[in-house]
A and B are shown apart, each in its own frame.
Chain A
Amino acid sequence: MNKAVTCFVLILCLVLGCKTEKYQQGRIIYETSCLNCHMSDGSGLGEMYPKLKGSRYLAEDIELLPCLIRQGAQSRQLETVYMPGHPEITTASMTNLINYMSDMWGDGRVVRLAEVTALMESCSK
Protein backbone atom coordinates (compact mmCIF):
# COMPACT_ATOMS: atom_id res chain seq x y z
CA MET A 1 0.00 0.00 0.00
CA ASN A 2 2.77 2.37 1.06
CA LYS A 3 4.69 1.48 -2.07
CA ALA A 4 1.71 2.29 -4.23
CA VAL A 5 1.36 5.73 -2.62
CA THR A 6 5.09 6.46 -3.06
CA CYS A 7 4.87 5.39 -6.68
CA PHE A 8 1.86 7.59 -7.31
CA VAL A 9 3.56 10.62 -5.72
CA LEU A 10 6.69 10.06 -7.77
CA ILE A 11 4.75 9.84 -11.02
CA LEU A 12 2.78 12.95 -10.10
CA CYS A 13 6.03 14.82 -9.47
CA LEU A 14 7.39 13.74 -12.84
CA VAL A 15 4.22 14.77 -14.67
CA LEU A 16 4.15 18.16 -12.92
CA GLY A 17 7.87 18.57 -13.58
CA CYS A 18 7.31 18.09 -17.30
CA LYS A 19 4.67 20.79 -17.41
CA THR A 20 7.27 23.53 -17.58
CA GLU A 21 6.73 26.77 -19.38
CA LYS A 22 7.11 26.62 -23.13
CA TYR A 23 9.01 29.84 -23.80
CA GLN A 24 10.52 30.73 -20.46
CA GLN A 25 13.63 32.32 -22.00
CA GLY A 26 11.49 34.43 -24.29
CA ARG A 27 9.33 35.54 -21.39
CA ILE A 28 12.38 36.71 -19.45
CA ILE A 29 13.56 38.84 -22.39
CA TYR A 30 10.04 40.18 -22.83
CA GLU A 31 9.92 41.19 -19.18
CA THR A 32 13.31 42.90 -19.38
CA SER A 33 12.98 44.74 -22.67
CA CYS A 34 9.31 45.01 -23.69
CA LEU A 35 6.99 44.83 -20.70
CA ASN A 36 7.35 48.43 -19.50
CA CYS A 37 5.56 49.70 -22.59
CA HIS A 38 3.65 46.73 -24.03
CA MET A 39 2.56 45.54 -20.53
CA SER A 40 2.61 42.05 -19.02
CA ASP A 41 -0.64 41.14 -20.80
CA GLY A 42 0.50 42.63 -24.12
CA SER A 43 -2.25 45.25 -23.95
CA GLY A 44 0.01 48.28 -24.56
CA LEU A 45 -1.15 51.78 -23.66
CA GLY A 46 -3.58 53.88 -25.67
CA GLU A 47 -2.70 54.33 -29.31
CA MET A 48 0.94 55.15 -28.62
CA TYR A 49 2.20 51.83 -27.30
CA PRO A 50 0.61 49.25 -29.61
CA LYS A 51 -1.11 46.23 -28.17
CA LEU A 52 0.39 42.96 -29.32
CA LYS A 53 -2.77 40.90 -29.67
CA GLY A 54 -3.82 41.05 -33.28
CA SER A 55 -0.64 42.87 -34.29
CA ARG A 56 0.32 42.31 -37.93
CA TYR A 57 3.92 41.89 -36.71
CA LEU A 58 2.83 38.66 -35.04
CA ALA A 59 0.97 37.50 -38.14
CA GLU A 60 1.62 38.23 -41.82
CA ASP A 61 4.52 40.62 -41.12
CA ILE A 62 6.38 38.43 -38.62
CA GLU A 63 9.47 38.51 -40.87
CA LEU A 64 9.77 42.24 -40.17
CA LEU A 65 9.82 41.74 -36.42
CA PRO A 66 13.52 40.94 -35.78
CA CYS A 67 14.67 44.17 -37.48
CA LEU A 68 11.91 46.21 -35.86
CA ILE A 69 12.99 45.04 -32.40
CA ARG A 70 16.68 45.49 -33.17
CA GLN A 71 16.33 48.99 -34.64
CA GLY A 72 13.35 50.40 -32.75
CA ALA A 73 10.70 52.65 -34.23
CA GLN A 74 9.22 56.12 -34.04
CA SER A 75 5.59 56.55 -32.92
CA ARG A 76 3.35 57.80 -35.70
CA GLN A 77 1.11 59.49 -33.14
CA LEU A 78 3.63 61.50 -31.18
CA GLU A 79 7.09 62.72 -32.11
CA THR A 80 8.44 62.30 -28.57
CA VAL A 81 7.31 58.68 -28.25
CA TYR A 82 9.50 55.99 -29.73
CA MET A 83 10.37 52.36 -29.31
CA PRO A 84 14.04 52.04 -28.38
CA GLY A 85 16.16 49.68 -30.46
CA HIS A 86 17.53 46.54 -28.85
CA PRO A 87 20.90 45.70 -30.44
CA GLU A 88 21.79 43.79 -27.25
CA ILE A 89 19.31 41.02 -28.02
CA THR A 90 21.20 38.14 -29.63
CA THR A 91 19.83 36.07 -32.49
CA ALA A 92 19.05 33.15 -30.17
CA SER A 93 17.32 35.45 -27.67
CA MET A 94 15.42 37.12 -30.51
CA THR A 95 14.13 33.71 -31.63
CA ASN A 96 12.98 32.89 -28.10
CA LEU A 97 11.35 36.30 -27.71
CA ILE A 98 9.41 36.11 -30.97
CA ASN A 99 8.25 32.58 -30.22
CA TYR A 100 7.06 33.68 -26.78
CA MET A 101 5.07 36.60 -28.21
CA SER A 102 3.70 34.52 -31.07
CA ASP A 103 2.53 31.92 -28.56
CA MET A 104 0.97 34.50 -26.23
CA TRP A 105 -0.59 36.97 -28.67
CA GLY A 106 -0.05 35.76 -32.22
CA ASP A 107 -1.20 32.72 -34.15
CA GLY A 108 1.40 30.53 -32.45
CA ARG A 109 3.66 30.31 -35.47
CA VAL A 110 7.15 29.12 -34.55
CA VAL A 111 10.23 30.83 -36.01
CA ARG A 112 13.53 28.96 -36.25
CA LEU A 113 16.99 30.19 -35.34
CA ALA A 114 18.25 29.93 -38.94
CA GLU A 115 15.34 31.99 -40.20
CA VAL A 116 15.87 34.72 -37.58
CA THR A 117 19.62 34.74 -38.24
CA ALA A 118 19.03 35.37 -41.94
CA LEU A 119 16.46 38.08 -41.20
CA MET A 120 18.74 39.86 -38.74
CA GLU A 121 21.66 39.77 -41.18
CA SER A 122 19.50 41.49 -43.76
CA CYS A 123 18.56 44.37 -41.40
CA SER A 124 19.77 47.65 -42.85
CA LYS A 125 22.00 49.25 -40.28
Chain B
Amino acid sequence: MRSRLVLFSTIMALLMACEQTDRPELRYIGDIIEPDGSVTPHEIRPFELVDQLGRKITNEDLKGNIHLVDFFFTSCPSICPKVTKQMLRLYDHVEEMDDVLLISHTIDPKRDSVAVLKLYADNLSIDHTRWLFLTGDKDEIMDLANEDYFVAAMESPDAPGGFDHSGKILLLDKDARIRGFCEGTDPESVDQMMLLIDELGKTYE
Protein backbone atom coordinates (compact mmCIF):
# COMPACT_ATOMS: atom_id res chain seq x y z
CA MET B 1 0.00 0.00 0.00
CA ARG B 2 2.73 2.36 1.01
CA SER B 3 4.87 1.72 -2.05
CA ARG B 4 1.82 2.40 -4.20
CA LEU B 5 1.39 5.75 -2.52
CA VAL B 6 5.04 6.60 -3.18
CA LEU B 7 4.66 5.61 -6.81
CA PHE B 8 1.49 7.67 -7.14
CA SER B 9 3.14 10.76 -5.60
CA THR B 10 6.18 10.37 -7.80
CA ILE B 11 4.03 10.24 -10.93
CA MET B 12 2.01 13.24 -9.77
CA ALA B 13 5.18 15.19 -9.04
CA LEU B 14 6.53 14.37 -12.49
CA LEU B 15 3.26 15.36 -14.18
CA MET B 16 3.17 18.65 -12.30
CA ALA B 17 6.78 19.36 -13.14
CA CYS B 18 5.97 18.80 -16.80
CA GLU B 19 3.07 21.20 -16.65
CA GLN B 20 5.18 23.84 -15.02
CA THR B 21 7.72 23.93 -17.81
CA ASP B 22 4.89 24.55 -20.29
CA ARG B 23 3.63 27.55 -18.41
CA PRO B 24 5.50 30.79 -18.95
CA GLU B 25 6.28 32.66 -15.80
CA LEU B 26 6.19 36.35 -15.10
CA ARG B 27 9.58 37.57 -13.98
CA TYR B 28 11.51 40.79 -13.69
CA ILE B 29 13.94 40.99 -16.58
CA GLY B 30 17.16 42.97 -16.47
CA ASP B 31 17.36 43.51 -12.71
CA ILE B 32 20.89 43.70 -11.36
CA ILE B 33 21.69 41.60 -8.31
CA GLU B 34 24.44 43.30 -6.30
CA PRO B 35 27.18 41.30 -4.49
CA ASP B 36 25.41 41.94 -1.18
CA GLY B 37 22.24 40.37 -2.57
CA SER B 38 20.29 43.58 -2.95
CA VAL B 39 18.43 44.08 -6.22
CA THR B 40 18.65 47.16 -8.42
CA PRO B 41 15.54 47.16 -10.62
CA HIS B 42 16.04 47.63 -14.35
CA GLU B 43 14.30 50.79 -15.44
CA ILE B 44 13.54 52.26 -18.85
CA ARG B 45 15.28 55.64 -19.08
CA PRO B 46 13.16 58.79 -19.48
CA PHE B 47 12.40 59.46 -23.15
CA GLU B 48 10.40 61.85 -25.25
CA LEU B 49 9.13 60.64 -28.63
CA VAL B 50 6.24 61.49 -30.97
CA ASP B 51 3.41 59.19 -32.04
CA GLN B 52 1.53 58.80 -35.35
CA LEU B 53 -0.83 61.65 -34.48
CA GLY B 54 2.04 63.96 -33.55
CA ARG B 55 1.39 63.65 -29.82
CA LYS B 56 4.40 63.91 -27.51
CA ILE B 57 4.84 60.59 -25.67
CA THR B 58 7.15 60.17 -22.67
CA ASN B 59 7.98 57.17 -20.51
CA GLU B 60 5.62 58.60 -17.86
CA ASP B 61 2.70 58.41 -20.32
CA LEU B 62 3.14 54.65 -20.63
CA LYS B 63 3.11 54.02 -16.89
CA GLY B 64 -0.28 52.92 -15.60
CA ASN B 65 -0.68 50.72 -18.69
CA ILE B 66 0.49 47.23 -19.42
CA HIS B 67 2.41 47.70 -22.67
CA LEU B 68 3.71 45.54 -25.49
CA VAL B 69 6.80 46.94 -27.14
CA ASP B 70 8.55 46.23 -30.45
CA PHE B 71 10.93 47.88 -32.92
CA PHE B 72 10.47 47.99 -36.69
CA PHE B 73 10.66 50.25 -39.75
CA THR B 74 8.10 50.65 -42.50
CA SER B 75 10.43 49.98 -45.43
CA CYS B 76 11.70 46.75 -43.82
CA PRO B 77 11.80 43.97 -46.42
CA SER B 78 12.72 41.22 -43.92
CA ILE B 79 11.07 40.20 -40.63
CA CYS B 80 9.05 43.34 -39.73
CA PRO B 81 5.78 42.52 -41.50
CA LYS B 82 5.82 39.11 -39.83
CA VAL B 83 6.30 40.68 -36.39
CA THR B 84 3.67 43.35 -37.07
CA LYS B 85 1.27 40.55 -38.03
CA GLN B 86 1.86 39.00 -34.60
CA MET B 87 1.46 42.42 -32.96
CA LEU B 88 -1.94 42.54 -34.69
CA ARG B 89 -2.81 39.19 -33.12
CA LEU B 90 -1.80 40.58 -29.72
CA TYR B 91 -3.85 43.73 -30.43
CA ASP B 92 -6.92 41.55 -31.01
CA HIS B 93 -6.10 39.49 -27.93
CA VAL B 94 -6.03 42.51 -25.59
CA GLU B 95 -8.99 44.30 -27.16
CA GLU B 96 -11.26 43.55 -24.19
CA MET B 97 -8.59 44.32 -21.58
CA ASP B 98 -8.35 47.75 -19.99
CA ASP B 99 -5.12 49.68 -19.77
CA VAL B 100 -3.11 47.79 -22.38
CA LEU B 101 -1.12 49.67 -25.02
CA LEU B 102 0.94 48.49 -27.99
CA ILE B 103 4.07 50.52 -28.68
CA SER B 104 5.99 50.13 -31.96
CA HIS B 105 9.15 52.20 -32.35
CA THR B 106 10.61 52.92 -35.77
CA ILE B 107 14.38 52.50 -35.93
CA ASP B 108 14.37 54.51 -39.18
CA PRO B 109 13.00 57.89 -38.04
CA LYS B 110 14.61 59.62 -41.02
CA ARG B 111 12.14 57.98 -43.40
CA ASP B 112 9.39 57.10 -40.91
CA SER B 113 7.94 60.51 -40.17
CA VAL B 114 4.74 61.11 -38.21
CA ALA B 115 2.82 61.20 -41.51
CA VAL B 116 4.28 57.89 -42.71
CA LEU B 117 3.51 56.20 -39.39
CA LYS B 118 -0.04 57.58 -39.50
CA LEU B 119 -0.56 56.02 -42.95
CA TYR B 120 1.00 52.76 -41.79
CA ALA B 121 -1.32 52.63 -38.76
CA ASP B 122 -4.35 53.57 -40.88
CA ASN B 123 -3.53 50.72 -43.21
CA LEU B 124 -3.67 48.30 -40.28
CA SER B 125 -7.10 49.69 -39.28
CA ILE B 126 -6.11 50.08 -35.64
CA ASP B 127 -7.20 52.45 -32.88
CA HIS B 128 -4.61 55.24 -32.64
CA THR B 129 -5.12 55.51 -28.89
CA ARG B 130 -4.33 51.84 -28.23
CA TRP B 131 -1.43 51.20 -30.60
CA LEU B 132 1.18 53.93 -30.72
CA PHE B 133 3.82 54.14 -33.45
CA LEU B 134 6.71 56.20 -32.12
CA THR B 135 9.36 58.18 -33.96
CA GLY B 136 11.90 60.76 -32.82
CA ASP B 137 15.64 61.10 -32.37
CA LYS B 138 17.41 58.12 -33.92
CA ASP B 139 20.13 57.79 -31.28
CA GLU B 140 17.55 57.98 -28.52
CA ILE B 141 15.50 55.18 -30.11
CA MET B 142 18.57 53.02 -30.78
CA ASP B 143 19.74 53.41 -27.17
CA LEU B 144 16.29 52.54 -25.89
CA ALA B 145 16.24 49.43 -28.09
CA ASN B 146 19.72 48.17 -27.26
CA GLU B 147 20.22 49.22 -23.66
CA ASP B 148 16.77 49.45 -22.12
CA TYR B 149 14.52 47.01 -24.00
CA PHE B 150 17.35 44.57 -24.87
CA VAL B 151 16.30 44.43 -28.54
CA ALA B 152 19.43 44.43 -30.67
CA ALA B 153 19.07 47.11 -33.35
CA MET B 154 21.70 48.76 -35.52
CA GLU B 155 22.24 50.47 -38.82
CA SER B 156 23.90 48.05 -41.22
CA PRO B 157 24.35 48.79 -44.91
CA ASP B 158 24.54 45.06 -45.71
CA ALA B 159 21.25 44.14 -44.03
CA PRO B 160 18.02 44.13 -46.07
CA GLY B 161 16.58 47.64 -45.87
CA GLY B 162 19.70 49.02 -44.16
CA PHE B 163 18.96 47.96 -40.57
CA ASP B 164 19.62 44.85 -38.54
CA HIS B 165 17.37 44.14 -35.61
CA SER B 166 15.67 41.38 -33.68
CA GLY B 167 11.95 40.70 -33.77
CA LYS B 168 11.41 40.53 -30.02
CA ILE B 169 8.17 41.73 -28.48
CA LEU B 170 8.41 42.77 -24.83
CA LEU B 171 5.79 42.77 -22.10
CA LEU B 172 5.98 45.59 -19.55
CA ASP B 173 3.84 46.07 -16.48
CA LYS B 174 2.12 49.25 -15.28
CA ASP B 175 5.34 50.36 -13.58
CA ALA B 176 7.14 50.05 -16.95
CA ARG B 177 9.21 47.08 -15.84
CA ILE B 178 9.95 44.27 -18.28
CA ARG B 179 8.05 41.12 -17.23
CA GLY B 180 8.46 38.88 -20.28
CA PHE B 181 9.25 38.72 -23.97
CA CYS B 182 8.60 36.58 -27.02
CA GLU B 183 9.94 36.07 -30.53
CA GLY B 184 7.65 38.11 -32.75
CA THR B 185 8.51 35.99 -35.77
CA ASP B 186 7.22 32.80 -34.09
CA PRO B 187 3.43 32.47 -33.64
CA GLU B 188 3.89 29.79 -30.97
CA SER B 189 6.12 32.03 -28.90
CA VAL B 190 3.42 34.71 -29.23
CA ASP B 191 0.78 32.19 -28.01
CA GLN B 192 2.85 31.81 -24.84
CA MET B 193 3.04 35.58 -24.53
CA MET B 194 -0.76 35.77 -24.58
CA LEU B 195 -0.89 33.56 -21.48
CA LEU B 196 1.65 35.81 -19.83
CA ILE B 197 -0.39 38.93 -20.64
CA ASP B 198 -3.50 37.33 -19.14
CA GLU B 199 -1.56 36.43 -16.03
CA LEU B 200 -0.16 39.93 -15.69
CA GLY B 201 -3.64 41.41 -16.23
CA LYS B 202 -5.00 39.28 -13.38
CA THR B 203 -2.46 40.72 -10.94
CA TYR B 204 -4.19 44.11 -11.34
CA GLU B 205 -7.75 42.81 -10.81
Which A residues lie at the B interface, using CB under 8 A? Answer: 35-37, 39, 43, 45-49, 77-82, 84
Among residues 63 to 110 in chain B, which have CB atoms less than 8 Å away from a CB atom of chain A? 73-75, 77-82, 84-85, 88
> Would B74 and A39 count as touching, CB distance under 8 A?
no
Which B residues lie at the A interface, using CB under 8 A? Answer: 73-75, 77-82, 84-85, 88, 111-112, 116, 119-120, 123-125, 160
A81-B124 in contact given A45-B85, A49-B81 (Cβ < 8 Å): no
A31, chain B: closest CB distance, angstroms: 12
A82-B123 in contact given A37-B81, A39-B82 (Cβ < 8 Å): no
> Would A80 and B79 count as touching, CB distance under 8 A?
no
> Would B116 and A80 count as touching, CB distance under 8 A?
yes
Report the number of A-B residue pairs with Cβ-Cβ less than 8 Å.
Answer: 47
A36-B82 in contact given A78-B123, A80-B116 (Cβ < 8 Å): yes
Question: Given the complex, which residues of B lie within 8 Å of A39, measured CB to CB?
Answer: 81-82, 85
| Most chain B CB inside 10 Å of its own CB: which residue of A36, A43, A45, A77 | A36
Question: Given the complex, which residues of A lie within 8 Å of B80, measured CB to CB?
Answer: 36
A78, chain B: closest CB distance, angstroms: 5
* A80 CA to B112 CA, complexed, in Å: 8
* A121 CA to B171 CA, complexed, in Å: 50
Closest CB pairs A-B (n = 10): A80-B75, A46-B123, A80-B74, A46-B124, A47-B123, A37-B81, A84-B77, A45-B81, A48-B123, A78-B119
A33, chain B: closest CB distance, angstroms: 10
Among residues of B, the one whose C-beta sits closest to the C-beta of A72 is: B77
* A77 CA to B120 CA, complexed, in Å: 8
A80, chain B: closest CB distance, angstroms: 4
* A49 CA to B119 CA, complexed, in Å: 13
* A84 CA to B160 CA, complexed, in Å: 10
Among residues of B, the one whose C-beta sits closest to the C-beta of A35 is: B82
> Would A46 and B77 count as touching, CB distance under 8 A?
no
Among residues of A, the one whose C-beta sits closest to the C-beta of B119 is: A78
Question: Given the complex, which residues of A lie within 8 Å of B84, measured CB to CB?
Answer: 45
B33, chain A: closest CB distance, angstroms: 38
* A82 CA to B78 CA, complexed, in Å: 11
Among residues of B, the one whose C-beta sits closest to the C-beta of A39 is: B85
B82, chain A: closest CB distance, angstroms: 5
Question: Given the complex, which residues of A lie within 8 Å of B79, measured CB to CB?
Answer: 36
> In the complex, given contacts A45-B84, A80-B73, what are 11 additional A-B residue pairs having Cβ atoms less than 8 angstroms apart?
A35-B82, A36-B81, A39-B81, A43-B85, A45-B124, A46-B124, A77-B123, A79-B116, A80-B112, A81-B74, A82-B77
Question: Given the complex, which residues of A lie within 8 Å of B73, measured CB to CB?
Answer: 80
Question: Given the complex, which residues of B lie within 8 Å of A48, measured CB to CB?
Answer: 120, 123
Question: Given the complex, which residues of B lie within 8 Å of A47, measured CB to CB?
Answer: 123
Question: Given the complex, which residues of B lie within 8 Å of A78, measured CB to CB?
Answer: 74, 116, 119-120, 123
* A81 CA to B76 CA, complexed, in Å: 8
Contact sample, A vs B, 12 pairs, CB 8 Å cutoff: A36-B80, A45-B84, A46-B124, A48-B123, A77-B123, A78-B74, A78-B116, A78-B123, A80-B111, A80-B112, A81-B75, A84-B77
